[in-house]
Structure 1
Amino acid sequence: MIRSVLLGVSLAALVLSPASAQDAPTKILNASYDVARELFVAINPAFTAAYKAETGKDVTVDQSHGGSSRQARAVAEGLEADVVTLNQVTDIDFLQKTGFVSADWEKAFPNSASPYYSLPAFIVRAGNPKSIRNWDDLVRDDVKVVFPNPKTSGNGRYTYLAARAYAEEAFGGDEAKVDAFIKKLFSNVPVFDTGGRGATTTFAEREIGDVLVTFEAETQGIAREFGKDRFQAVIPPVSLLAEFPVAVVDRVADKRGSREIATAYLNFLYSPAGQRILAENGNRVRDESVSKEFADRFPEVRLLTVADVYGGWDKIQAEHFASGAKLDQLYGQR
């Protein structure tokens, strides 16, 4: 009987303990935001080649894509992603509060765990027939605007925040006028898709709307994919800094024994090779030498920050994105 008990304890220890180094997996899953598909199609083989050259080991990176906030919820509900590469700090904060990511995740990698950044920008039909140049053009009666639902998409939330930041400046902080501006913007949206890729399809393939608001990287990708003879990017003179946070999903990585590969994968995004691929795919990067190399692709723009305009993400969450807060109030009145 004692022998049986000891055997049971030993088997339980094997089941409950993290995988040993020898048993470490050779495949990881990256849960990422909706419009990053093509980006990671380029990133992943470059990483696996670099990892093979450095360690002699073959690894595979699988992808899962969706609205950033939906991806965070999917991980919390059981999607076994080893890493997340999302487009909103609050989504990783959600994973931290639910016990999937460490409390100091922003200190685990440089630049507050944001290896690249972008900004909400516009893409219009060739020739810019509606002469759309700035945020105030989006509330004109003759303009139909497409962007994803800010209740389900980090892309859409950045659009909401950037438009509101513009209105705060334009109206000198007059809250009533700012709210009216946002309600008019919402009323000009013919359809709200759940994620950035759906919004791109609505605009580019279904040919709905006069302007798509999305990350600058996506505007460049649309022009490349569908033809510069059909679409052109417009960078507004002022926009909002959009950081793209990354994190190892500690609960999954420790369970699977994938921490070493997961960490190497995210570190690769900061390497010159990774930064170059990010820039080639329309993202603004942190590496100064790579940034200078691609400077001609990124027009000058005055970038406001979440901290300066809104007082940080915690305050935004409470005042704008919590149930019944400002976004619900205005979105429900569109």
Structure 2
Amino acid sequence: MNRLLILGTALAALVAVPALAQQPTKLLNASYDVARELFVAENEAFLKGHPGVSIDQSHAGTSKQARAIVEGLEADVVTFNQVTDIDFLVKQGFVSADWQKDFPNASSPFYSFPSFLVRAGNPKNIKDWNDLVRDDVKVIFPNPKTSGNARYTYLAAAAYAKEAFGGDEEKVEAFLKKIFDNVPVFDTGGRAATTTFVERETGDVLITFEAETRGIAKQYGADKVEGVIPSVSLLAEFPVAIVDKVADKRGSRELAKSYLDFLYSEEGQRVAAQFGHRVHNEKVTGEFKKDFPEIRLVNVDQVFGGWEKIQKEHFASGGTLEKLYGSR
């Protein structure tokens, strides 16, 4: 009898070994276009505590990424810059409806806002959103139809105009249309727009997240570009989520959760701050306080009534964006 028990235990162990071996050791993170360097560093820090694991990255405009996942891109997690693109995945059955309850701060580990990058010395004296409608200013930002980055720029400009014109929608739309008219080329994503501005030397001002402007200024030097923070901007949160349909299929949920949890850890927050993102961890915020000047930030709920309303009024077919942007 004892021999049978021993034999049974040994067989059970042999059966369990292949099951353990099948646990995935690789994740795919689908992220926004200008987050490449950030996640190289985040991944390196995360993998120090997870030997044998690897993280693959995919970067593009988040609307494009969301569509790619629906069409077959097997991303275990998304680290996006726009809530509506994760909500799109919810509607397609890829992410759970209560995804914002899965992680702290409505599943947003860090934040930023649309900011300006100008030529060294600021020769056009660009200081605020109203300077973007001047006839002598050429503005660079990506296509709002494909880039969450650009949608934040559009919304931040609209928020400024709503204040400036006392909510007069005709004047707000005229203001936004003039900004669009001043854009010589619309790239599909934020990184391509950066290339257009810095390397091709097109335009007078680049509008992108503060985190990106800080990185570009550091990379190219003060003799090439400099950052300008406007008087007011829009809070840009960076939502994250497990792609449930993919994680459950691959059995990667536990690893995916550990990865996204790491972004909230002190180490993960410090990496984000080093790459120009504003974080929630109080200790890390204190360490980097001198690097982040104060700015008045408004949010989508205050100004626009939330993302669902924004989607219907601005970004849906026939919405304000399509009316102003036309067929471009």
Would the TM-score normalized by the shorter structure come out above 0.5? yes
Which residue, out of 268, 293, 303, partners 1:309? 303
Q: If the length of structure 1 is used for normalisation, what is the TM-score?
A: 0.92
Q: Is contact 1:21–1:257 with CA below 8 Å preserved after alignment?
A: no
1:219 maps to 2:218: no
| 1:93 partner letter | D
Which residue, out of 113, 127, 151, partners 1:119? 113
1:169 maps to 2:163: yes
Aligned to 2:32: 33
1:280 maps to 2:279: no
* Aligned mates of 2:135, 2:243 — CA distance in 1: 45
* Aligned mates of 1:321, 1:333 — CA distance in 2: 14
Aligned to 2:7: none
1:251 maps to 2:250: no
RMSD of the alignment, in Å? 1.2
Q: Is contact 1:88–1:243 with CA below 8 Å preserved after alignment?
A: yes
* Aligned mates of 2:283, 2:110 — CA distance in 1: 14
| 1:298 partner letter | F
Deviations 1:255-275 (A, max 9, x none): 111111110000000000000
Aligned to 2:228: 234
| 1:51 partner letter | H
Aligned to 1:5: none
User: What pairs up with 1:283-294 in 2 under 5 angstroms?
Assistant: 283-294=277-288
Deviations 1:195-240 (A, max 9, x none): 0001000000000000000000000111111122101011112000
Quick one: structure 1 residues 20 and 181, their matched pair in 2 at CA, closer, same or farther if it must change by over 3 Å? farther
Q: Is contact 1:146–1:192 with CA below 8 Å preserved after alignment?
A: yes
User: What pairs up with 1:60-79 in 2 under 5 angstroms?
Assistant: 60-79=54-73
* Aligned mates of 1:167, 1:23 — CA distance in 2: 55
* Aligned mates of 2:23, 2:163 — CA distance in 1: 52
1:289 Cα deviation from its structure 2 partner: 1.1
1:297 maps to 2:296: no
Q: Hey, which bits of structure 1, 4+ residues long, moved more than 3 A?
A: 19-22
| 1:121 partner letter | S
Quick one: structure 1 residues 95 and 119, their matched pair in 2 at CA, closer, same or farther if it must change by over 3 Å? same
| 1:261 partner letter | L
Which residue, out of 136, 139, 150, partners 1:145? 139
Gaps of 5+ in 2: 1-17
Which residue, out of 73, 95, 106, partners 1:101? 95
- Between the aligned residues of both structures, percent identity stands at 70
Q: Is contact 1:87–1:244 with CA below 8 Å preserved after alignment?
A: yes
Gaps of 5+ in 1: 1-18, 53-57
Aligned to 2:319: 325
* Aligned mates of 2:183, 2:292 — CA distance in 1: 27
Q: Is contact 1:20–1:257 with CA below 8 Å preserved after alignment?
A: no
* Aligned mates of 1:21, 1:68 — CA distance in 2: 34
Aligned to 1:44: 43
Deviations 1:293-323 (A, max 9, x none): 1011111100000000000000000000000
Helix, strand or coil at the partner of 2:49: helix
Helix, strand or coil at the partner of 1:218: helix
* Aligned mates of 1:82, 1:198 — CA distance in 2: 25
Aligned to 1:131: 125
Q: Is contact 1:119–1:239 with CA below 8 Å preserved after alignment?
A: yes
Aligned to 2:9: none
Pick which of 265-274 and 225-234 moved more.
Answer: 225-234
